[in-house]
Structure 1
Amino acid sequence: MWRGVALVRDWVEETMRELGEKERVLFLVTCWVLWERRNMMIFEEERWDVGTIMRRIRGIIWEMESVQDNEVSRSVVGSRLGSWEPPGSGVSKINTDAGVVEGVGVGLGAVSRNSAGEVEWAVVVQRGAGCAVDMAEAEAILLGLREAIRMQSRNVVIESDCLIVVDDLNRNRRGKSELFVIYEEIRQLSLSFESIVFKHISRNFNKLAHVIAHAMPWFHGRRFWTSVLPAELGVVALSDVSNLI
């Protein structure tokens, strides 16, 4: 066994020496994703096709490149970096995010704001049952759509920092797994709106939804707010708006 480990180590080291910088990053991300999916197959009995694995790799690479771009942009745009951007007049922008905390549970968050940056409503659902990150992100979008319908929104932009899910929805990808069942429900609810756009954004532009999804102290249940948020959430919302001035 140890000889096998040594051979793999030597092969990895030799491969890394032969590759350029971008190729090394791609190689390491691919290895990590394959290991991640292998563990999910063994411990969670989830099977993933090649297309899903490739989208996962592409999503990670995109996020890494976005972080690098933001580091370069920080010296140019200053405090505006990572600011939430308001929608057009008459449109509600709904940011969604999911927080999967190992051994604790899953948090789903969504927040709707208008063209003035004012919070229309926000919701968080937290539960003990765990699930894959992609599925949790899709459930967060589903949560946002349900609340938007309940609050009678007509024109919405849905923003999520999960590239895989947004890409799947925009490309109308189909499948038989539980994730695609959630996609189908999202598509059905989308028919309730006069206009709807699914948009992928960097995590820097999704801060309030992220904080809501990870709201503490952790408890199992649902919390809903209208225009007035708890102090810890209101500070984040005001920070986003102040950066737009």
Structure 2
Amino acid sequence: MNVFLDFRDLWLGITSNNDHSLADRFAYVAWSIWHNRNALRLKTPCIPYKKIYAGMQDRVKEFHSAKSSTKLANHDSMVQPIISEPTHWKPPRNPFCKINFDGALFQDQKMASIGVVIRNPGGHVIGALSDRIFLPATVDEVEALACRKAISFALDLGVENVVLEGDSKIIIQALNADSSCASSYGHIIEDIRVLALDFASICFSHVKRREYCC
């Protein structure tokens, strides 16, 4: 029986396992628990805990089915805005990696939480992180900070071609806009744009948050 010292040690153990799908299964279960904690606190629809494992199995099957039917294609544009709203998560086209980011508020603790998951063209998780920050003024600012954290994390991993995917339509539209952002989080948007120049190719995509019913 393996004993892990902390979450980082646990993650290293998972990613070094010969079962390559273990990281995908773990990421979904961990995200589901995190999502439920936020949903219960905010009194919004959540996943029944007893259905998390079955849901994970369905999503993994769904992912592999989508991956097998995905056609590989070249991407000629260095920076190409993409705004789409797929119902289910889809693997990125080769040679892209897909970065999913999200933020959550904890008003009672005056804190916010940031989550990031990065998958390669094969759909395997190559990096994941979560972080807590002091509570910003708005939800949009939390999402902007989560996006900046995600893009910085991808650069640290040495990823060169990325699709940055988030459920904040406001933030994605701000990143795809030709003009500067005059909002309170405008400086964060500009930071992201500067960081984006370090990638060989990058695009920003909006997706709807999947809705769960108890």
Task: Tell whether the structures are fold-level matches, with TM greater than 0.5.
Answer: yes
Query: What are the superposed Cα offsets for residues 106-161 of structure 1, whole Å, 9 maximum, x if unpaired?
Result: 01111100122110101111124343100110111100110111110000000000
Contact 1:135/1:179 (<8 A) preserved: yes
Alignment partner, residue 139 of structure 1: 145
TM-score by length of structure 1 reads 0.49
* Pair member with larger Rg: 1
| Counterpart AA for 1:123 | L
Aligned mates of 2:207, 2:167 — CA distance in 1: 5
Contact 2:181/2:189 (<8 A) preserved: no
Alignment partner, residue 201 of structure 1: 207
Aligned mates of 2:148, 2:199 — CA distance in 1: 14
SS at match of 2:108: coil
In the alignment, is residue 84 of structure 1 matched against residue 89 of structure 2? yes
Q: 2:104 aligns with which of 99, 116, 128?
A: 99
Aligned mates of 2:90, 2:163 — CA distance in 1: 11
Alignment partner, residue 188 of structure 1: 194
Aligned mates of 1:100, 1:160 — CA distance in 2: 16
Deviation of residue 83 (structure 1)? 2.7
Deviation of residue 84 (structure 1)? 1.3
Query: What are the superposed Cα offsets for residues 64-92 of structure 1, whole Å, 9 maximum, x if unpaired?
Result: xxxxxxxxxxxxxx975943100011211
- Structure 2: segments with no counterpart, 5+ residues: 1-57, 63-85
Alignment partner, residue 115 of structure 1: 121
Q: CA RMSD in A?
A: 2.3
TM-score by length of structure 2 reads 0.56
Alignment partner, residue 48 of structure 1: none
Alignment partner, residue 157 of structure 2: 151
Deviation of residue 177 (structure 1)? 4.4
Aligned mates of 1:175, 1:116 — CA distance in 2: 35
Aligned mates of 1:192, 1:138 — CA distance in 2: 18
| Counterpart AA for 1:94 | I
Contact 1:91/1:115 (<8 A) preserved: yes
Aligned mates of 2:137, 2:105 — CA distance in 1: 8
CA distance 1:86–1:143, change in 2 (3 Å):
same
Deviates more, 1:128-137 or 1:108-117: 128-137
Aligned mates of 2:178, 2:166 — CA distance in 1: 16
Aligned mates of 1:177, 1:82 — CA distance in 2: 30
Contact 1:106/1:131 (<8 A) preserved: no
Contact 1:98/1:108 (<8 A) preserved: yes
| Counterpart AA for 1:102 | Q
Runs of at least 4 residues of structure 1 off by over 3 A?
78-82, 175-178
| Counterpart AA for 1:192 | D
Deviates more, 1:184-193 or 1:111-120: 111-120
| Counterpart AA for 1:93 | K
SS at match of 1:189: helix
Aligned mates of 2:133, 2:115 — CA distance in 1: 12
